[in-house]
Chain A
Amino acid sequence: MRLRELQQSFQNRVLRHRRGIESQLNDAQDEDFEPRLDAYVGGYRTRLIEALAASYPVLKATLGDDEFEHEMRRYIESTDSRHFSVRHYGSTIGERLQGRFSTPRGQALTELAEWEWRLADVFDAADDSPLDVRELAAVAPLLWPTLSFSLRACVRWFDSRTNAIQWWRAANGLRDKPDELTESPPSRWLIWRRGVTTFFRALGPLESELLEQLREGANFRLLCERTALEVSDADAPQRTASLLRGWLAEEIILDFGFSHAAV
């Protein structure tokens, strides 16, 4: 058997339990041959389950060791790893759980998995430096309506329709544990990193819309126009500037430019 076929055959044994490689290996009749082969076949699954447990610690604690392992084994049999780093394996666990459970708890488990993955995504997002508020202070007042902003690479948001985030916070000792994982009113959460620490907080409707528009390139004038739907025209610039000051203090803004474009 040529090298290519040999590797395909061995890989098929590990991934699909398909026999064939045995005839190419020494001592296949020995009593300890299957345990030796299992160092590869079983070892593959053990390694991936360990990696998934590291990526989804609260999901694992919620499901319990046995159910977590059961669900992860199902996932592993249907989802091959294509990335050079095992840390990237398991990005679709949440999606897969959605198909497994139709109950409100199932929906919350899906969200819990997606939340944990999003946190990991923020954890190793690209390093960049937040905008220093003093740079903005140098901008002439006449130019402020045209100011547009970009967000740091680590900034994400997360839409929730369950109490999965409260559940996650309780598991990490940050608040009391809800009675059960279930549906809850829709909310949007901002997630970002300062230094090596990940932060998150809930966003109100106005702030959420403004951040979305800001990310799409809206300038300060457009942001104020959106704010004016909530407060008086006279108060809109001050309210918008106040939110902007908060984002700068939280270090989610990367840079600014000047834009006349309508969004």
Chain B
Amino acid sequence: MKTLGFGLGLRPDHYDAILSERPSVGFFEALTENYLVPGGKALQYLERIRANYPIVLHGVSLSIGSTEPLNHEYLKLLKGLSRRIQAPWISDHLCWTGTEGLNLHDLMPMPYTEEALNHLVPRIEEIQEFLGERILLENVSSYVGYRSSEMSEWEFLSELSARADCLLLLDVNNVYVNSVNHHFDAEVFIRGVPRKRIAQIHLAGHERQDTFIIDTHDAPIAQAVWMLYQSACKRFGAVSTLIERDANIPPLKDMLEELALAQTTTSAIEAAA
């Protein structure tokens, strides 16, 4: 997978600044569902920004883990949008978002079981066949775990990506959040996922509660996540890295400053290697 460098989540708050200032950013990541519309302002901005930058697509409604049949109408729209903007890749989350025709608009966790693997693998294969490309699946933050889980999250991701021949979007913040919420060593997670499958990295902020962490994307990246990112850089090398912010969105220049920190981290590790 081609490395696109360092990117930002594309948010409407920044549309005009991106077009007028043409910041030095390797790529943008668009939230798929915001652009699965017949037309209008969002799509027009997407096209204009696409003229200057690669834009990858990142969805929240593929619901790959749901026991509902795949939503083929959604997949057709996704394929059309991806072709339209020539997205270098498409990603979504390793989760389910609803069942019985309903949508919880949340990234619901999967149990790490053989049954879940057997359910997920053919669905991923069908989607990849339909799209004509491998997709990236992201590890999600979770606040509860299933008693039925038979393996660790990183073992599950490894097995899944190998069996379905898909790629992984490693969200380093989510690894850290889950390490606190489910009491494991985040470094073990980083060492446990297959290097060759990691095609993109996400960084984001979170909100600490008394005894657990919620993945809010509403704050700067926490120091502990930066530390874990260093470990990820050492293990995975040059991987396209993106910062997400979905609430309390600061001006573009602040996001660029945070992105520069990610570049500095990577450069320092490359220089030391």
Residues of A within 8 A of B (CB): 1-4, 6-8, 10-11, 14-15, 23-27, 31-33, 35-37, 39-40, 43-44, 47-48, 51, 80-87, 89, 123-128, 153-154, 193, 195-196
Contacts and interface: CB of A to CB of B under 8 A. Distances in A.
A4 B99 contact: yes
B177 to A, nearest CB: 11
A195 B209 CA distance: 45
25 contacts: A3-B67, A25-B146, A26-B145, A26-B182, A27-B144, A32-B209, A32-B210, A33-B144, A35-B209, A36-B212, A37-B143, A39-B143, A43-B106, A47-B105, A51-B105, A80-B102, A81-B104, A81-B105, A82-B102, A84-B36, A86-B105, A124-B40, A126-B38, A126-B39, A127-B39
Given A15-B104, A81-B105, A124-B41, 7 more contacts: A7-B67, A35-B209, A35-B212, A40-B144, A47-B105, A85-B36, A127-B44
B33 A85 contact: yes
Nearest to A196: B41
A76 B37 CA distance: 24
Interface of B: 33-34, 36-45, 61, 66-67, 71, 74, 96, 98-106, 108, 111, 113, 115-116, 119, 143-148, 181-182, 209-212, 214
Given A44-B105, A124-B39, A127-B39, A11 B100 contact: yes
A25 B61 contact: no
A7 B103 contact: no
B147 A25 contact: yes
A81 B37 CA distance: 17
Given A36-B181, A43-B106, A123 B41 contact: yes
A15 B235 CA distance: 41
Contacts of A80: 102
A37 B105 CA distance: 15
Contacts of B108: 7, 10, 40
Contacts, number: 130
A128 B40 CA distance: 10
Nearest to B215: A39
A3 B67 CA distance: 7
Contact of A25 (B38, B104, B144, B209): B144
Contacts of B106: 14, 40, 43-44, 47
A85 to B, nearest CB: 4
Contacts of B66: 7
Nearest to A35: B209
A7 B99 contact: yes
Contact of A82 (B37, B103, B145): B103
Q: Mostly helix, strand, loop or mixed at chain B's interface?
A: loop
A93 B211 CA distance: 37
B42 A124 contact: yes
Contacts of A10: 108
Given A11-B98, A24-B146, A127-B40, A85 B104 contact: no
B40 A81 contact: no
A84 B104 contact: no
Given A3-B115, A32-B212, A81 B42 contact: no
A80 B98 CA distance: 11
A116 to B, nearest CB: 16
A127 B46 CA distance: 13
Contacts of B105: 44, 47-48, 51, 81, 86, 89
A195 B43 CA distance: 11
Nearest to A40: B106
A171 B37 CA distance: 27
B72 to A, nearest CB: 12
Contacts of A37: 143-144
Given A7-B66, A127-B38, A36 B96 contact: no
Contacts of B61: 84-85
B181 to A, nearest CB: 7
Nearest to A83: B103
For A25, A39, A47, the residue with the greatest tally of chain B CB atoms inside 10 Å of its CB is: A39
A44 B33 CA distance: 18
Contacts of A81: 98, 102-105
